[in-house]
Amino acid sequence: CKGHRRRGNQVGRRSAYKLKYEVTGLAGGLKTNKTDEEGNPREINMEDYTDLAAFATSKLGYNYVWGGESDAEGGYDCSGLIYYAYQQAFGVTLPRTSQTQQYLGTEVAFDDLQMGDLLFWQDDNGDTYHVAMYLSDGYYIQAANSQKGVIITAMDEHTPSFAKRIINTQER
């Protein structure tokens, strides 16, 4: 793509994450447009769940582009990366900004995070200004800024203000 620069390696289509959960649906009335082989609506499943990490990490090294939500725009902003990954993996259209994505799902403690949970940062006035997606083992993926682009970051390197779960799961 014009103006598109790749930095870093691309992760394969299937994620190597160890999953100890089973997907039971999406929170807050979110609907998927996933269909089976015959075109009938279907529920999301574990394959979709692993696709979420694969789609998000396939964008490692992409540029940060304000308002970006697809490859055609040459990169992603923070909420655009989340919007893209959830749309690709689950066929669900999330709200487009971190300020509106923060209202999805249920709040979750940092010591109970699961892959796919959304992480949010707030300023001193309590206004949400950034979102990322938790991966595993204390790391998350984010479209950080125009200098860093899409990267994986340790939780203790830049700790979020709060987290939300929008993928309903149960322990296997």
Task: Measure the CA–CA gap between 158 and 51, rounded to whole angstroms.
Answer: 25
Contact 23, 44 (CB under 8 A): yes
- Helix (H) or strand (E) holding 26, with range, is strand 21-26
Determine phi and psi for 72, rounding to 5 degrees.
-60, -25
Contact 122, 161 (CB under 8 A): yes
Q: Which two tokens stand for residue 101?
A: 């994505």
Active site (catalytic) residues: 78, 130, 142
